[in-house]
């Protein structure tokens, strides 16, 4: 297909009734979230004795000492594949790796207008579905900030102001579900939730809209009986293998999909839900998402949709005969949403 313009993209989104946004690492790159295998290699550098103990040191050393870029990439992949395969069998490795990843400074949220534009477009229902492969909390940070303000007056629309001076509002009924309690009492349920793991699915309410965090996060822990803990912040001093605070006979497990793993094999039930939503969407926009390596299964579903748009600085692995390709950055897509979609 011939390359498309930003204007074509805005019109396609404005015409759609059931659009989905799929975002990946590229949307957070400006905010210093490391790409590729940099994180596991840094983890290895900081934990040499643990690597030796679990039989990973020689694979790490081989990758670390490679000078040719292609060789290094291949050796890093071998190290990471072994790391991931040893993860399930070692509680110590789970505790140390998950704990270390959770402390990476850039994983925590900061204010970001790019992420806010994506979050607001979703909260305004112009995207019905929001799917991220990112471990970081940049989307959640912006959503939480909007809710923090909105709780001051849950009947009023919430406002968000971008650094450029653009303003937008989100209707109160898009943010909250009002449940009548006994007498005159009400409870304001926030309409957003996070779904990362099969144990989260029974907790989804009919009024709630999940942010599909399909690679989980190092911060997430799940109890097999009651679903996710520590969703999006370290709210409790809990770590891998601790007893669940509600079910002391159950142990908390990491909720994370690693490098080289895919949701289709790690969490097939969650993937089926996401896949159905993508297949029903009348417009899919993917940005910052390379679709290569272990993410091929998502790319295939997006490419099979007749109205799929990819917004990336380069075509990468995408089959541009099947998708509309707009050659630009995620930050520019956010700017387009601000100008054309959410502030009108």
Residues engaged in binding Zn ion (CB under 5 A): 223, 225-226, 244, 246-247
Write out the DSSP string of 64-129: HH--SHHHHHHHHHHHHHHHHHHHTT-HHHHHHHHHHHHT-GGGS----HHHHHHHHHHHTTSSSE
Residue closer to Zn ion (CB basis): 182 or 249? 249
Residue closer to Zn ion (CB basis): 210 or 228? 228
| C-alpha distance from residue 285 to each of 1, 20, 69 (Å) | 16, 6, 32
As measured in angstroms, the least distance from the Cβ of 226 to Zn ion is: 3
As measured in angstroms, the least distance from the Cβ of 241 to Zn ion is: 14
Q: What is the Cα–Cα distance from 195 to 228, expressed in whole angstroms?
A: 9
Residue closer to Zn ion (CB basis): 214 or 244? 244
Residue closer to Zn ion (CB basis): 203 or 328? 203
Q: What is the Cα–Cα distance from 272 to 231, expressed in whole angstroms?
A: 22
User: 316 — alpha (psi -120 to 50), left (phi > 0) or beta?
Assistant: left
As measured in angstroms, the least distance from the Cβ of 96 to Zn ion is: 23
Sign (positive or negative) of CA dihedral 293, 297, 300, 306: negative
Residue closer to Zn ion (CB basis): 242 or 319? 242
Sign (positive or negative) of CA dihedral 72, 78, 84, 89: negative
- 8 A C-beta contact, residue 318 and residue 299: yes
As measured in angstroms, the least distance from the Cβ of 247 to Zn ion is: 4
Residue closer to Zn ion (CB basis): 199 or 267? 199
As measured in angstroms, the least distance from the Cβ of 244 to Zn ion is: 3
As measured in angstroms, the least distance from the Cβ of 227 to Zn ion is: 8
Beta-carbon contacts of 204 under 8 Å, excluding residues fewer than 6 positions away, are 193, 195, 210
As measured in angstroms, the least distance from the Cβ of 242 to Zn ion is: 11
Residue closer to Zn ion (CB basis): 250 or 282? 250
Locate all alpha helices (DSSP H) within 160-317, ordered by sequence.
172-175, 263-266, 268-280, 296-303
> What does DSSP assign to residue 341?
I
As measured in angstroms, the least distance from the Cβ of 199 to Zn ion is: 9
User: 240 — alpha (psi -120 to 50), left (phi > 0) or beta?
Assistant: beta
Residue closer to Zn ion (CB basis): 143 or 223? 223
Q: Tokens 């670390």 belong to which residue?
A: 64
């Amino acid at each position: 297909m011939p390359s498309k313009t930003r204007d074509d993209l805005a019109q396609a989104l404005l015409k759609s009734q059931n659009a989905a946004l799929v975002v990946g690492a590229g949307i957070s790159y400006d905010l210093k979230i490391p790409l590729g295998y940099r994180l596991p290699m840094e983890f290895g550098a900081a934990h040499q004795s643990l690597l030796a103990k679990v039989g990973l040191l020689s694979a790490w050393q081989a990758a670390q000492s490679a000078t040719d870029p292609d060789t290094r990439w291949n050796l890093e992949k071998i190290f990471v594949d072994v790391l991931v395969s040893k993860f399930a069998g070692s509680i110590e490795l789970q505790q140390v790796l998950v704990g270390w990843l959770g402390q990476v400074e850039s994983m925590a949220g900061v204010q970001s207008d790019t992420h806010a534009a994506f979050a607001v477009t979703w909260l305004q229902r112009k995207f019905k579905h929001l799917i991220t492969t990112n471990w970081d909390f940049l989307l959640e940070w912006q959503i939480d900030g909007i809710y923090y303000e909105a709780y001051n007056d849950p009947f009023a629309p919430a406002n968000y102001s971008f650094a450029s001076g653009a303003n937008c509002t989100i209707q109160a009924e898009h943010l909250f579900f009002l449940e009548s309690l006994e007498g005159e009492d009400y409870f304001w349920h926030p309409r957003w939730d996070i779904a990362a793991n099969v144990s989260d699915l029974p907790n989804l309410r009919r009024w709630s809209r999940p942010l599909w965090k399909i690679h989980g996060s190092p911060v997430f822990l799940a109890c097999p009986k009651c679903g996710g803990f520590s969703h999006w912040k370290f709210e409790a001093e809990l770590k891998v293998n601790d007893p669940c605070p509600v079910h002391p006979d159950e142990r908390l497990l990491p909720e994370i999909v690693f490098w080289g793993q895919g949701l289709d094999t790690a969490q097939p039930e969650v993937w089926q839900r996401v896949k159905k939503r993508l297949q029903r969407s009348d417009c899919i926009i993917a940005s910052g998402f390379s679709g290569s390596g272990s993410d091929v299964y998502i790319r295939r579903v997006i490419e099979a949709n007749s109205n799929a748009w990819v917004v990336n600085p380069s075509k990468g692995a995408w089959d541009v005969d099947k998708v509309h390709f707009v050659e630009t950055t995620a930050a520019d897509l956010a700017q387009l949403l601000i100008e054309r979609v959410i502030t009108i």
